[in-house]
Amino acid sequence: MSSTPPRALTIAGTDSGGGAGMHADCRTFFSCGVHATTAVTAVTVQNSLGVTGFTEIPPEVVAAQIRAVVTDIGVGAAKTGMLASAGIISAIAGACDEVGIGRGREIPFVVDPVSASMHGDQLLHDDALDGLRGELFPRASLVTPNLDEVRLLTGIEVTSRAGMLDAAKAMYELGPQWVLIKGGHLASDPDCMDLLYDGADVVELPGPRFDTRHTHGGGDTLASAITSALAKGADMPEAVAFGKRFVVRAVEAAYPLGGGVGPVSNFWRLSADPI
Ligand X SMILES: Nc1ncnc2c1ncn2[C@@H]1O[C@H](COP(=O)(O)OP(=O)(O)OP(=O)(O)O)[C@@H](O)[C@H]1O
In the complex, the residues that contact ligand X under the rule CB under 6 A are: 20, 118, 146, 182-185, 192, 194, 207-210, 212, 215-220, 222, 244, 247-248, 251
Minimum CB distance to ligand HMH smaller for 123 or for 132 = 123
| Smallest gap from residue 243 Cβ to ligand HMH (A) | 15
Which whole-number Å values give the CA distances from 228 to 17, 104, 154, in the listed order? 23, 18, 28
Residue 44 touches which of ligand X, ligand HMH, none (Cβ within 5-8 Å per kind): ligand HMH
Minimum CB distance to ligand X smaller for 67 or for 268 = 268
Applying the rule CB under 6 A, the residues between 179 and 238 that interact with ligand HMH are 217, 219-220
User: CA-to-CA distance for 63 and 20, rounded, in angstroms?
Assistant: 22
Minimum CB distance to ligand X smaller for 24 or for 70 = 24
Concatenating the DSSP letter of every residue in 149-205 gives: HHHHHH-----SHHHHHHHHHHHHTTS-SEEEE--TT-TT-SB--EEEE-SS-EEEE
Question: H-helix or E-strand containing 56?
Answer: strand 50-56
Minimum CB distance to ligand HMH smaller for 6 or for 17 = 17
| Smallest gap from residue 146 Cβ to ligand X (A) | 4
Minimum CB distance to ligand X smaller for 107 or for 261 = 261
Among 117, 144, 154, 224, binds ligand HMH (CB under 6 A): 117
What residues have CB less than 8 Å from 36, skipping those under 6 apart?
A: 7, 8, 10, 25, 26, 29, 30
Residue 139 touches which of ligand X, ligand HMH, none (Cβ within 5-8 Å per kind): none
Strands 109-111 and 77-80: parallel
Which residue has its beta carbon closest to ligand HMH? 21
- Contact between 179 and 223 under an 8 Å Cβ cutoff? The reply is no
Q: What is the distance between the terminal CA atoms of the chain, rounded to a whole angstrom?
A: 25
Minimum CB distance to ligand X smaller for 65 or for 224 = 224
Stretch that binds ligand HMH, among 7-15, 142-150, 151-159, 237-245 (CB under 6 A): 7-15
Distance of CA 135 to the CA centre of its chain: 17
Question: H-helix or E-strand containing 54?
Answer: strand 50-56
Nearest one of 201, 185, 212 to 240, comparing CA atoms: 201
Applying the rule CB under 6 A, the residues between 131 and 170 that interact with ligand HMH are none
User: CA-to-CA distance for 24 and 10, rounded, in angstroms?
Assistant: 10
Among 8, 9, 20, 83, binds ligand HMH (CB under 6 A): 20
Tell me which residues touch ligand HMH (CB under 6 A). 12-15, 20-21, 44, 46, 81-82, 114, 117, 123, 217, 219-220
